[in-house]
Amino acid sequence: MVTRSHDAHRDEFNPWTRIATLIEEAGHLLKLSEGMIKRIVTPERILEVAVPVRMDSGEIEMFTGWRIQHDSSRGPGKGGIRFHPSVNVDEIAALSADMSIKCAVVNIPYGGAKGGVKVDPEVLSREELERLTRRYAYSISPIIGPDRDIPAPDINTDPQVMSWIMDTVSMLRGHNLPGVVTGKPLAIGGSLGHAGATSVGVSICTVALLQQLGRRAEGQRVVIQGYGKVGAPLVKQLSDRGMKVVGLADIHGAIHVPEGIDAQLMASHVASTHSILGYPHGEEIAASELFALPSDIAIPAALGGVIDERVARSMSASMMIEAANGPTTGEGAAELARRAIPVVPDVLANAGGVVASYFEWAQDLQGFMWERDLFRQRLEKTMHDAFDSVWARHEQLGLPLRDTALVVGVERIAEATELRGLFP
């Protein structure tokens, strides 16, 4: 179960302790009552499920999964499902709270939720992955639905996994239910413009921060950690805006390309080799050296907890955009603040994905698909409005952007909680 630890070593690595502390600090800045702060911090529902799967060999393997609904004061829960060996209850709880804040910061009518299964999908066959997905979906089906909690893809899950979840829940309910998940293929209720929406939001926040700092986008040197669903589109999007991606890392290693990466060439290279290593114009470096490369902008777009005090101290960039969920530890954040390096936090920077999910969900409920241009126009407006709102509050309060975004999110959740009251 989710607990608050007083052990310093555990706190350093516990994502739940980190986000709970941030929410508490924001609540105290807003002068909320202790009761209200406790209500906002505490998850509403934690469901742990056993996931038995018949393997291709005929043997039964047992896996553990979770679905955690953190807050529903502003609307149904929203958050991804991840399949990864590192998944645990504290990680899922932290990510569900992160989603509550994120949805409030971009001002969409959702609460926060998150799910996951502790499994390495790389060792599963396609048939085993489908059986695991459907059994997990069956187990969490009583608490999900278009008006309760709407899952989406996350690490190691994709539109196909969402299709299996949607089909499983639809069979259980006895009717088609496209709005039960987002991130689906177009053929079964997906949305034009959803793919790459998180990267679009990150690029919008990058340019917006540069403008506020009086800097031009052209020629800015960027390092990106991660070349997946977010990092890969970012290379092209930032290059199209005149920036140079000079450093890149994936699970295999890191490279330095001082003249800037050619996005199309890199995409072709990865498609054929499944790694960024061996890129024709890149010098292979230690992954630990990525953020120390000469650069202007750092973008962690992989797993959480990678920007610790050591990395923050050696970081060359003068600004950071958090494309990953929870990439910065408490000590790392303190060091970046000490060095006066502005950071657009994950609850704002990578919110393009959940905004796109909101649009897909709305279209599923309406039974009407928007045109791609309308989708992109509304996505950009929502992200610009969110950035402007956080920046205005940042100037008013004189707080770092991370603290400001938390204040904006917690304040909106507190307002909804107060208006709804306490039942019974």
Is pLDDT of 90 > 80?
yes
CATH 3.40.50.720 occupies which residues in the chain? 197-349
Q: How confident is the model at residue 138 (pLDDT cuts 50, 70, 90)?
A: very high
pLDDT digits (tens, 9 = 90+) for 144-176: 999 999 999 998 999 999 999 999 999 999 999
Share of the chain above pLDDT 70, in %: 97
pLDDT of 188 reads 96
pLDDT of 304 reads 83
Q: Model-level pTM greater than 0.95? A: no
Is pLDDT of 419 > 60?
yes
CB 29 within 8 A of CB 403: yes
Interval 114-135 mean pLDDT: 98
Closest Cα to residue 90, out of 192, 13, 169, 8?
13
Q: How confident is the model at residue 4 (pLDDT cuts 50, 70, 90)?
A: very low
Q: Indicate the fold that domain 197-349 takes in CATH.
A: Rossmann fold (3.40.50)
pLDDT of 12 reads 54
Which of the following is catalytic: 114, 184, 229, 236? Answer: 114
Is pLDDT of 9 > 80?
no
Share of the chain above pLDDT 90, in %: 93
CATH node for 8-177: 3.40.50.10860
pLDDT of 13 reads 62
Q: Is 114 a catalytic residue?
A: yes
Is pLDDT of 398 > 80?
yes
Is pLDDT of 8 > 70?
no
Is pLDDT of 11 > 80?
no
CATH 3.40.50.10860 occupies which residues in the chain? 8-177
